[in-house]
Amino acid sequence: MGTGTPSPESLAALDALRERIQHKTAKIGVVGLGYVGLPLIQAFVNAGFSTLGFDVDPEKIAALENGQSYIGHIPAEWIQEWTARDAFAATNDMARLAEPDVIIICVPTPLNDSRDPDLSYVEATAAQIAHALRPGQLVVLESTTYPGTTRDVMLPILNESGLALGSDFFVAYSPEREDPGNIDYTANKIPKVVGGMEPNSLELAVTLYSHAVVETVPVSNCEVAEACKILENTYRSINIAMVNELKVLFDRIGIDIWEVIEAAKTKPFGFQAFYPGPGLGGHCIPIDPFYLSWVARKHEMPTRFIELAGEINTSMPRYVVSRVAEALNDIGKPMRGSRIGILGVAYKKDVDDPRESPSFKLMELLQEKGALLSYNDPHIPILPSMRHYQVPRLASEPLTPDYLASQDCILIATDHSAYDYEMIVRHSQLVVDTRNATSHVTDGREKISKA
């Protein structure tokens, strides 16, 4: 399907959808109400559209129906305002996918156990859409994936509807660029790259997003838009790997990598600062480059930069654990049996997002060496179960002087702004800092070890 001469009814569907988008009477459906989907709802509601959110998790739907938020940087007041204005409703009834004029897919695209792309969520969502698809709908994939996914994976499933691409229904790809917790770059403030499956799809998608974002950047096809996202995050992965490797080297020769970076970034051209850490976290940077290397393997081409960056970044938790062992050894304590308190399990500062956080790998490695673990994170009160990590079921400990003093080592894994680092160092026996969070602490610097 998807070919043939458009019927008068199909042309009418195209014109009607174009008009609804232009006049903001189109209903926007968003599938996947997580760290990408909910901010996208906010952007379209603020632009004057009516929205319908879909998610398979009944707990999320119940929370939204009760005006509650499960994402820290999405206030409950926003959801209550959307609902009060009749601009938003949430459902797990996928039969209602026929209702929206636009369906935007924001579902997870993880890696499987062999580090190959897992597109099961995209495929399942596409099948549900195909079952409900009607003339006059635009389907946009935002989930990060490899070039060719929209055309080779999603489109054939949508074609099972029997409708014609480019006249009955329309398909585009626009990569999400969400930066959780960054108030300077909310969804409506970030330029949106848009690729269409054919000209009508591109025109409709660009018109749609131009209402909700600061700028649209149309590209020639979906593959370019898909590759754009992979490039952005591979660029970051490789540069972070470089500074992580330099951190290990400079530590051996007694040079502070953080001071080096601060000096280097005074150069007004030709340099962008990237910072080391205990490992990569979040959905994008630890995962996206492996999508590209998977594509390269299919085309019998090695991707040495990408693979090497992945090796370096995934080795950082082991480096941190070795530094913890050295710091404990310096004060006459073995790792086995030592009480280690981890500060921060979110993957980045000031968010409640634990996806792919290096803290979970740190916990695994520390447990293997016999450490007794606890943690504090003001944004994550209960340690969630993780798909790829075996971590203990813990609750965040109150960050009190007594708690700090009771730990043999405090490991700063995430540098939340809420932490009083002067107080932390003052009351701790030993602090291992992976984020340079204690750089301005003056008293007790002899207790601090960088990692």
For 345-362, the pLDDT digits (tens) are: 999 999 998 888 999 999
Q: Which two tokens stand for residue 417?
A: 């702004």
- Rounded to 5°, the CA angle 71-128-290 comes to 60
**What fold, for 8-220?**
Rossmann fold (3.40.50)
pLDDT at 4 (0 to 100): 47
The answer to whether residue 284 is catalytic is yes
Q: Taking a C-beta distance cutoff of 8 angstroms, is the pair 63, 69 a contact? A: yes
Tell me what the mean pLDDT of segment 158-164 comes to.
Answer: 96
Q: Report the Cα–Cα distance between both ends of the chain, in Å, rounded.
A: 57
Tell me, what's the pLDDT at 285? 65
286 pLDDT above the threshold of 70: no
- Active-site entry in 106, 222, 228, 284: 284
The per-residue pLDDT for 255 is 96
Q: ∠ CA 275-280-285 to the nearest 5 degrees?
A: 100
Number of H helices, E strands in the chain: 15, 13
Write the pLDDT tens digit of every residue in 115-134.
778 899 999 999 999 999 99
Quote the CA–CA distance of 196 and 150 in Å, as a whole number: 10
What is the DSSP code string of 404-448?
HHH-SEEEE-S--TT--HHHHHHH-S-EEESS-TTTT--TTGGGE
Contacts of 396-400 spanning 24+ positions with Cβ under 8 A: 397/341, 399/343, 399/424
2: pLDDT strictly greater than 70:
no
Listed in sequence order, the DSSP H helices in 299-387 are 304-330, 358-368
Task: Return the higher-pLDDT residue of 10 and 338.
Answer: 338
For domain 237-450, the CATH superfamily is: NAD(P)-binding Rossmann-like Domain (3.40.50.720)
Confidence of residue 3 (pLDDT cuts 50, 70, 90): very low
Tell me: pLDDT of 5 over 70. no
The total of other beta-carbon atoms located within 10 Å of residue 357's CB is: 28
For residue range 433-442, list pLDDT tens digits in order.
Answer: 999 999 999 9
The rounded distance, in Å, linking the Cα atoms of 289 and 356 is: 14
- What distance in Å separates the CA atoms of residue 209 and residue 196, rounded to the nearest whole number? 13
Long-range Cβ pairs for the range 80-87 (8 Å, 24+): 82/41, 82/42, 82/45, 82/51, 85/45, 86/50, 87/45, 87/49, 87/50, 87/51
Give the pLDDT confidence of 288-325 residue by residue, as tens digits.
777 778 888 888 888 888 888 888 999 999 999 999 99
Please check whether residue 51 is in contact with residue 41, taking contact to mean a CB–CB distance below 8 angstroms: yes
Lowest mean pLDDT among 5-14, 74-83, 87-96, 397-406: 5-14
Alpha-carbon torsion (281, 287, 289, 290), positive or negative: positive
Q: Is the pLDDT of residue 9 over 70?
A: no
Residue 337 burial by Cβ neighbours in a 10 Å radius (0-12, 13-18, 19+): exposed
Are the C-beta atoms of residues 247 and 255 closer than 8 Å to each other? Answer: no
SS3 230: helix
Q: Where in the chain is the domain with CATH 3.40.50.720?
A: 8-220, 237-450
At which residue do the structure tokens 């079921």 appear? 393
Amino acid at 69: S
Average pLDDT over residues 143-165: 96
Residue 11 reports pLDDT greater than 80 = no
Q: How would you list the strands of the sheet with 372-376, edge to edge?
A: 372-376, 339-343, 409-412, 431-433, 448-450
Residues in the chain: 451
Average pLDDT over residues 278-286: 73
Residue of 37, 78, 60 whose CA lies nearest to 180: 37
What is the full DSSP assignment across 128-172?
HHHHH--TTEEEEE-S---TTHIIIIIHHHHHTT-PPBTTTEEEE
Query: Which residues have a Cβ under 8 Å from the Cβ of 449 and sit 6 or more positions away?
Result: 323, 326, 327, 330, 430, 431, 432, 433
What's the whole-model pTM score? 0.89
